[in-house]
Each structure stands twice: as C-alpha cells, then as structure tokens.
Amino acid sequence: MKIGNLEINEKAYLAPMAGVADRAFRELCRGYGAAYTVCEMASAKGISLGDKKSRELLSIEKDERPAGAQLFGNSPETMAKAAEAALLFSPDFIDINMGCPAPKVSNSNGGAWLMKNPQLAGEIVKAVVSVSSVPVTVKMRSGWDSEHINAVELAKICEQAGAAAITVHGRTKMQMYAPPVNYNIIKEVKNAVKIPVIGNGDVVDGVSAARLLEETGCDMVAVGRGALGRPWVFSQINAYLNHEVILPEPPVTQRMTVMLKHIKKLCEYKGENVGIKEARKHAAWYTKGLRGGAAYRGKMSTVNSLDELRELAFMLVAENKQEE
C-alpha cells in the first residue's frame, strides 16, 4: 500500500497518543513490526509562538521511521506554518488531527471540533498540502455525536483538498472510547473515497485486526490503547494477518524485560527524573493481568529510580514463576 509516495509494508500502525506515544514507545513498537508510527500531537499555535515543548514533539529519529508528525489547530494559515516547521524534522508524512475528543483540545476548537466544521477542515488540509513536500494524512472520528455522523462528508472534502490517506476512528467525539465501534461508517468512508482508509477502534490482537479489515474493507488498521503495555501486539497482528498464526501473550519474564527496556529508553531520552515519573503509568499497563499485579502496581506508582523499578520487576517475576 502507498500513502502518496510512501510505501507501507504491514497492515497495522501505532496511532498517536498524547503522553504515551513518545520516541521510546514508538521505537519499541516499530521494533515489533508496526507499519509506521505517528508522533504525539503538537499544537500548531504553540509551534507558531515558538513553544519549545511543542517543537520537541516534532522530532523523529531513525529507529521509529517511517514516522509522521501530527498537528492540531483551527487556522489554515497557522497550520501551514506549523507544517513548515515540522518539515525541518524530515517527517515521512504530516498528519492532521481531527479526531481528538479530549475537552482540552476540542473545547479550544481543535481535534474533533473540526468534525463540526468540515469546510474549515478542508481549508486546513489544502493549506498544509500547499506547503508540504511529504504526504498529508488526516485522522478523524465518525462524527461529533450520534446525530451528526459526517465522516463520509469530511473524508470526501479532505480527499479533494489533497489528503493522501484517512484514518477513521469508528466512534463519535461524544462517545470518547465507550463501545461500540461503528464498523459501518468506516466501510462507508472506504467506499466513498479512492485514497487509503485506515480503520481504528478496539484493535487488540490479530483476530480483531482481521475482523476490522474484513468487515470494512479498509486498507490498514491503527492500534492505540491496544498497544498500551503490549508493544508486541504488532508482531501478533502481523503473524495472524500474514500466516494465520495466533501468537500468545509473552511470559511474565519477557513482559518485564520489555518493560525495563522501555523504561530505560524513557530515562535515557528524558532523564531519569522525568522518565521514571512517566514510567509509572507504563508499569501499570505492563503488569495488568499478572498474579500480584495490583499490589505491585501500587508499589511501582511510587518508584523514584530505575533500580527500584527493576527490583520490583524481578520480585513480580518470581511471584509468577508457576505460570512459565
């Protein structure tokens, strides 16, 4: 499959997740076979005002490629300027966020708010495409709420404005992440446009990925929450889609090894003080479902060093020995 001139070889990519899909996690997921990754969304307004943190979100390194920069905003001019700034970091594509349901974003007329303003959304795509030397993609939802399902309309507008691919999360903004996922709207979008359409929503393994692909006809799937504490989900998806093989969840020793590798990267890239604080939420995801996991999650939520976390991981492995 191609997104513009970008060749994509697998069927599942890591969806952008603010506060989660940073460099450490993107590299880890690419290592497990994610088709590509997308940076955490960056504010176009923040970039235009010279905000250091917003610009830092645009940085992309070799081991996470192919990778795209994601922008959010509501001004065509500001979004175009932000895209020009993003291009300095050589992204493989630029993604425009029209799906974030977080009140902080949508209440400031960004993210999913653009679902309520399809003409403005189209102008934004056109403005970004006009300055971009790489493909421009869009991530959207099915609509604002159940009475305003307009993903098909918006997808057509984005395609006409020059978008090279569209990701559709089969829920409305108001649904947030509550079930069910609307497969039909993803299918309708796929049938309405000629550019690649990626389905998003509740993909947690190979079987769910295959079901989404089959029932909607979409070209790929995006994996977000299904990868939390489970970066290996991409190898599971690829194994099932390519060979119809169901890979089991890794044993606890391997899970803790991956967790420590992840946290070590976090500390290396952000410094141990920041990295270990961010590691606490990841540790909770990695230990979900393990014997004694709840107790260890409580302990891991207060660790202040990588050594402390490593010691707790070894103790958790010992407690779960019987499962291996």
**How many Å apart are CA 248 and CA 12, to the nearest integer?**
18
Residue 100 annotated among the catalytic residues of the structure: yes
DSSP assignment of 119-182 equals HHHHHHHHHHHHH-SS-EEEEEEEESSTT-B-HHHHHHHHHHHT-SEEEEEEEETTTTTPSPP-
Task: Look at residues 72, 43, 73 and name the one whose alpha carbon lies nearest to residue 56.
Answer: 43
248 preceded by cis ω (within 30°)?
Answer: no
Instruction: Single out the residue of 102, 27, 101 nearest to residue 65, CA to CA.
Output: 27
* DSSP-assigned letter for residue 95: E
SS3 assignment, position 258: helix
Q: What is the largest CA-CA distance in the chain?
A: 60
Residue 199 in tokens: 């389905």
* Nearest by Cα to 158 from 175, 174, 176, 136: 136
By CB atoms closer than 10 A (0-12, 13-18, 19+), residue 302 is: exposed
Of 29, 100, 158, 267, which residue is the catalytic one? 100
Beta pairing, strands 67-72 & 37-38: parallel
Radius of gyration, alpha carbons of the chain: 20
Which residues have a catalytic role annotated? 100
